[in-house]
Homo-oligomer: A and B are copies of this chain.
Amino acid sequence: MKENLRSILSEAGIEDELIQEIQKVGFPKTARSGELIITPGSTSMHMPIVLEGLLSVVRQDEDANEILLYYLEGGETCAMSLACCIEGKRNDFKVTAEDNSVLWMIPMNYMDEWIQNYRSFRKYVFSSYQTRFDELLETIDSITFLNLYERLYKYLLDKKQATKSYEIKMSHEQIAQHLNTSRVVVSRLLKQLENEEKIELERNRISIL
C-alpha cells in the first residue's frame, strides 16, 4: 500500500524526502463498495489521496435530491477539503465508495508547511484544485447544454472510463439519482439507447457497446 502511495506521489513529481514524510504522518483508510465516506455537514481534518478504487462526489439539496459532481479515481486527491478546512467550513458533499477503495489520509496541519517548502507539492495541490474545477465545469456543461438522453449516454461513457469496464453494475434507480431525475425516465431512455444499439440491458447491468 505504501508502495502504491510512493509511486503515485513520485509520478506527481513529489521528491523522496516529502514522500517519506507523507508516509510517516498519514494513515490508510479502507472503504467497501457502497460505503459512505463523507456525509454533508461533517468537517474533516484530513486530505485524502485515493490509492485504489473509485469514489463518487455528490451534491445534495435540502430535500435530499442529488447530483453527481465527479469521480475521484486512483491517484487523485480532493484539494477542496483543504480549503474546506482552512476556512473551517463544513463539507457540502456526500462522498461514496463506488468500489472497494483505499485512501491515504493526510492531516491538514502539515499542508501549509509543505506548500511553503516544496514547489512540487504546491504544484500538486494547485493542479488538483484545477482538475476539480474543470470537472465542475464539465458537469455544468452537461446539465446546461445537453438533453437528458445525451447526458445519460455521457454518464455511461464516463462511468465506463472511470471503472475501466464496459459493464456497469447499477440499477436504473441509482443512475436516476446521480442525474437527479426519476427511475422511469432513465428506463425509458436506456431502452432507447438499447434500440439504437449503443448499450445492452440486463438486470443490474448495462453493457456499453
Contact = CB atoms under 8 A, between A and B. Distances in A.
A92 to B, nearest CB: 7
A144 B143 contact: yes
A137 B140 contact: no
Interface string A161-196: 000000000000000000010000000000000000
A92 B136 CA distance: 13
Nearest to A180: B144
A78 to B, nearest CB: 11
Copies in the complex: 2
A94 B141 CA distance: 14
A144 B67 contact: yes
Given A83-B130, A87-B130, A59 B141 contact: yes
Nearest to A80: B133
Nearest to A136: B136
Contact of A112 (B92, B122, B132, B145): B122
B132 A133 contact: yes
A64 B112 CA distance: 41
B145 A83 contact: no
29 contacts: A59-B137, A59-B140, A59-B141, A61-B144, A61-B145, A63-B145, A65-B144, A65-B145, A67-B140, A69-B140, A80-B130, A83-B126, A83-B127, A83-B130, A84-B130, A86-B123, A86-B130, A87-B130, A112-B122, A115-B115, A116-B119, A116-B122, A129-B133, A132-B133, A136-B137, A139-B140, A143-B143, A143-B144, A144-B180
